[in-house]
Structure 1
Amino acid sequence: MTLAKRERAALIRTMSEVGPDAPTLCGDWTTRDLAAHLLVRERRIDSMPGLVVPQFADHTEKVRRAATDRPWAYLLADIESGPPKWSPLFLVDAVANAGEMFVHHEDVRRAVAGWEPRTLPADDQDHLWRLAQQVGRRSYRGSDVTVVFERSSAEHSDTEHPSGSRVTVRKRGPRTVVLRGEPAELLLHAFGRDQVRLETDGEQRDIDELAASQRGV
């Protein structure tokens, strides 16, 4: 089973446990709001442009809000079944949804006080390490700080990852901040989440500037 499918199943379990009105790390969205987003993203082709093009965002939000009226159990059941065959995401589920499902699962988990990072298999961390580098290269906009990701876990293969465990994801100038931690934590940070377990090396003003930068894709 792919990481995308396993994280989808885990997300559904966690959402079922906390219920439809639980908070998330997605602003003021509840788990019901987040579930509606996931459903619309995979099943409403007309709303997909608004996920990336601001001019269409109002329509996407209107469709998402309408989806929140669906019974909670139906929302979860449709998400659990994955993208239908006619969805553009059906054939690319393993690629397009690994990060989506992982990050949103953590959005639900880490909105609860007392959260702790999960212990993930080495293969999953390898996958998230690749995703973290991809997202990191497009994140941290509006900052003149060079960003270096350093993987803290030794459970990976340098043969599989020729770039090793230390990668410059954005080169901007002599000021540098090193973010050090598990790939899962680096990916979440690149996506704009602050509820992460990372070590940082660099001048405090540079660290603060990076934290305030536009993170995400």
Structure 2
Amino acid sequence: MSDERRPVDVERAAIARTLAAADPGAPTLCAGWRVVDLAAHLVLRERRPDLVLRDLLSGAEPGREPHLQRLVADALDPVGYRALAARVATGPPRWSPLRLAESTTNLVELVVHHEDVRRGPRDADGASEPAEPRDDLTPDLLRELWQRVRSTAGLMYRSSGTGVVLVVPGGPRATVRRGADAVAVVGDPVELALHANGRRRAAQVTLEGRPETIDRFLAGLSGDVPGDAGPVAPSGGLAGSAEGLAGSAEGSASRGAEPGRREEQSPERGAPPNLDVW
């Protein structure tokens, strides 16, 4: 039976289940935030975005935000935490503008924060915990996630200093930032969402392009150092302009690994989601 819910509703139900089963004190991929902090952020963002802005303007370190921590304080016991997770499941209130445009504003947010929980904690070297492969990523969710990521990735990669092409293996590709020299970021839509949203050490992607272009791409991303963005395929991979990469990436992605390329999948995390949805 097909799932007739909106993709954002499917993902909201999934993250709510994960939060309900998680240890609220466990760390996440968001530095300074435990699972309970992240759950509180989702609730505050959807109900009092003005307080999220005040916390941001306060300059407080993650985990010390004044308004967020008031909500966290009510969820430090099991009953309070279950109530907080239940509020995540219900989504924004009817009067909220986020309710009217939830697919546009919330799908990427929910997917990325879901993986923040699933792939934590980070160790002293910043590595993420392997996560079990998901079997609840519907074809509609993957297709809509791809559309949302490709529409915002140009802004996310604005400091890269290179052209950027996103490539789904065996699926679509899109030039999100034009340039004479470009890097192809190859991965499934969830991994591309993570990479574009700064979870570059956790995202399972491959970078393809000229070595010097990849170095410039990594250096341009705030806080990145070479290697932070995942496996790099500088030789035998794709090279050239964004237009050239966009034209050639589809065929190379469907062929699989070639000499000089490294696979993006970590054997610890099992198989990626079924991408036979395009």
- Specify if TM > 0.5: yes
Q: Do residues 118 (structure 1) and 134 (structure 2) align?
A: yes
Q: Do residues 106 (structure 1) and 115 (structure 2) align?
A: yes
Letter of the structure 2 residue corresponding to residue 39 of structure 1: V
C-alpha distance in structure 1 between counterparts of 2:173 and 2:152, whole Å: 15
1:160 match: none
CA shift digits 1:11-49 (9 cap, x unpaired): 111112222011111112100110111111011143254
Following superposition, the deviation at residue 72 of structure 1 comes to: 0.8
Higher RCO (CA 8 Å, separation ≥ 6 residues): 1
Q: Do residues 184 (structure 1) and 190 (structure 2) align?
A: yes
2:73 match: 69
CA separation of 1:209 and 1:111: change in aligned 2, threshold 3 A: farther
Letter of the structure 2 residue corresponding to residue 134 of structure 1: S
Secondary structure at the counterpart of residue 68 of structure 2: helix
CA separation of 1:57 and 1:2: change in aligned 2, threshold 3 A: farther
Percent identity over paired residues = 38
8 A Cα contact 2:187 2:206, kept in partner: yes
CA shift digits 1:93-150 (9 cap, x unpaired): 2322111111111111111522144353322211111111112111123221111111
- Structure 1: gaps spanning 5 or more residues: 155-164
- Point out the structure with max Rg over C-alpha: 2
Secondary structure at the counterpart of residue 90 of structure 1: helix
8 A Cα contact 1:153 1:182, kept in partner: no
Following superposition, the deviation at residue 87 of structure 1 comes to: 2.1
C-alpha distance in structure 1 between counterparts of 2:70 and 2:211, whole Å: 44
CA separation of 1:170 and 1:56: change in aligned 2, threshold 3 A: farther
* TM-score relative to the length of structure 1: 0.82
1:211 match: 218
2:273 match: none
C-alpha distance in structure 2 between counterparts of 1:57 and 1:50, whole Å: 9
* TM-score relative to the length of structure 2: 0.66
CA separation of 1:23 and 1:183: change in aligned 2, threshold 3 A: same
1:162 match: none
Secondary structure at the counterpart of residue 38 of structure 2: helix
Letter of the structure 1 residue corresponding to residue 138 of structure 2: P
2:164 match: 147
Secondary structure at the counterpart of residue 85 of structure 1: coil
- More divergent stretch after superposition (203-212 vs 39-48): 203-212
C-alpha distance in structure 1 between counterparts of 2:133 and 2:162, whole Å: 27
Q: 2:204 aligns with which of 188, 197, 204?
A: 197
Aligned CA-pair RMSD = 2.3
CA separation of 1:121 and 1:79: change in aligned 2, threshold 3 A: closer
